[in-house]
Amino acid sequence: MNNTRLQEVGFVADCQWSALPGVSRPVRSFRRQTMNSTTTISMYHAMRRMMALMVSSLLILATQFVYAQAPAPAAYVDLDAVQLDQLVAPIALYPDSLVAQILTGATYPNQIAAVDTWLNQNMNLPPDQRAAGANAMTWDPAVKGLIEFPSVLDNLAKNTAWTAQLGNAYYNQPGDVMNAIQAMRLQAQQSSVLVTTAQQRVVVDAGVIEIVPVNPAVIFVPYYNPWRVWGTLFVAYPGFVVLPPPPGIVWGVGLAFDPGIAVGVYAGFGWGFGAWAPAWDGGTVMFGGNTYISNSVTVCNHGYFGGHDRGAFDHGGRGVPGGYRAAAHAGAARSAAAAILGPAIPASAT
């Protein structure tokens, strides 16, 4: 008789025993087996919960160990005039409002990358729908505003290291960065590269060179290779990639220009081109007529805006054009930030 047959016989016998009056042994045996099975299942679930708890504890400890071993963020290193010239050269000849947007937006390099990806995926939408979509996001207003200028945004995203350094430099040395841009403009003007054209006007006001659109509703972004414009003054920024000119580029006097971009559709959202301006004498950016300090937590020395302004252009020397007079002075941006964010930055932060 095979095992299956024996099991069947045993089962029948148990049933027969349970049917006899006064006989309960097989029933009690069956109940004990059922109880043992239930106990075994309960122990199994308890062991699973215990193992899950142990694994979770180990993962927490491992994560804490990794963070404990991770190196601290690199400290900001002050830049001199030549290094600042090299850093701002790719944007120095852009319209003033766009410069203000870029300086603030560069303090959010991760958002720049995310917005660039989003914009490339939504370029088939009409501008008003793109604007509404960006407005619904949690990005900084300056970053949202850059969707108006796809080629500029793409350039920032493709040159991530440069963008992050520009953001760190602006946050820590805002006055020096503003002065560097003015110094680059002065040299470009002296070499007849920066001139008034059909696309933009070059205005000099109390020694400050401003670049404004001829028609505020249509913005032309200059296209140029900075290492050719100022090639004798400094080498190209390490790793910086000059993107090819976009289709439809307009060649003008001194500079070429991207096709005009109508920005009126973005004005209603409050973060468009017209809402931004650089405060050249204060070293800060204005948004909606008020001083705007980046809230980025990824910049070096977050919370100490302007703490490393060193007056790099206050005196002559390498990187400072002859006859140049700095518009922004060390401490001005820091004071402006303190008026918004709270008490003055402690001296140790400088």
Query: Model confidence at 340, in pLDDT bands (50, 70, 90)?
Result: confident
**pLDDT tens-digit readout, 193-248:** 999 999 999 999 999 999 999 999 999 999 999 999 998 888 899 999 999 988 89
Q: Letter for the amino acid at 72?
A: A
pLDDT of residue 40: 52
Per-residue confidence (pLDDT) for residue 50, from 0 to 100: 57
Residues 286-337 pLDDT 10s: 999 999 999 999 999 999 999 999 999 999 899 999 989 999 988 899 999 9
pLDDT band at 348 (very low <50, low <70, confident <90, very high): very low
pTM of the full structure: 0.78
Beta bridge partners of 317: 320
d(CA 191, CA 229): 9
Instruction: State what percent of residues in the chain have pLDDT above 90.
Output: 68
Cα separation, 171 vs 79, in Å, equals 12
Q: pLDDT tens digit string along 113-129? A: 999 999 999 999 999 99
- Residue 286, amino acid: M
* Average pLDDT of the segment spanning 7-26: 41
Q: Are 223 and 255 in contact (CB under 8 A)?
A: yes
Q: Tokens at residue 155, please?
A: 């350039």
Averaged pLDDT of the chain = 83
Q: Do 146 and 101 touch, CB atoms closer than 8 A?
A: yes
Half-sphere exposure of 212 (CA within 13 A, CB side): 13
- CB burial of residue 293 (10 Å; 0-12, 13-18, 19+): buried
Whole-number Å distance between alpha carbons of 279 and 179: 11
Indicate the burial class of 52 (C-beta count within 10 angstroms; 0-12, 13-18, 19 or more): exposed
Strands (DSSP E) found in the chain: 200-205, 208-213, 218-219, 222-223, 250-251, 256-257, 261-262, 276-279, 284-287, 290-292
Amino acid at 221: V
284 and 104 Cβ atoms separated by less than 8 Å: no
pLDDT score of 102: 98
Q: Are 268 and 314 in contact (CB under 8 A)?
A: no
The residue among 43 and 182 whose pLDDT is bigger is 182
Give the model's pLDDT for residue 185: 98
Distance CA 122, CA 222 (A): 24
Is the pLDDT higher at 29 or at 261?
Answer: 261
What angle, 0 to 180 degrees and rounded to 10, lies between the N-to-C axes of helices 174-190 and 160-172? 110
Q: How many residues does the chain have?
A: 350
pLDDT for residue 49? 57
Does pLDDT of 2 surpass 80? no
Q: What distance in Å separates the CA atoms of residue 50 and residue 53, rounded to the nearest whole number?
A: 5
User: Residue 233: which residues within 8 A CB-CB, separation 6 or more?
Assistant: 82, 85, 187, 319
Handedness of CA 285, 291, 296, 300 (dihedral sign): positive
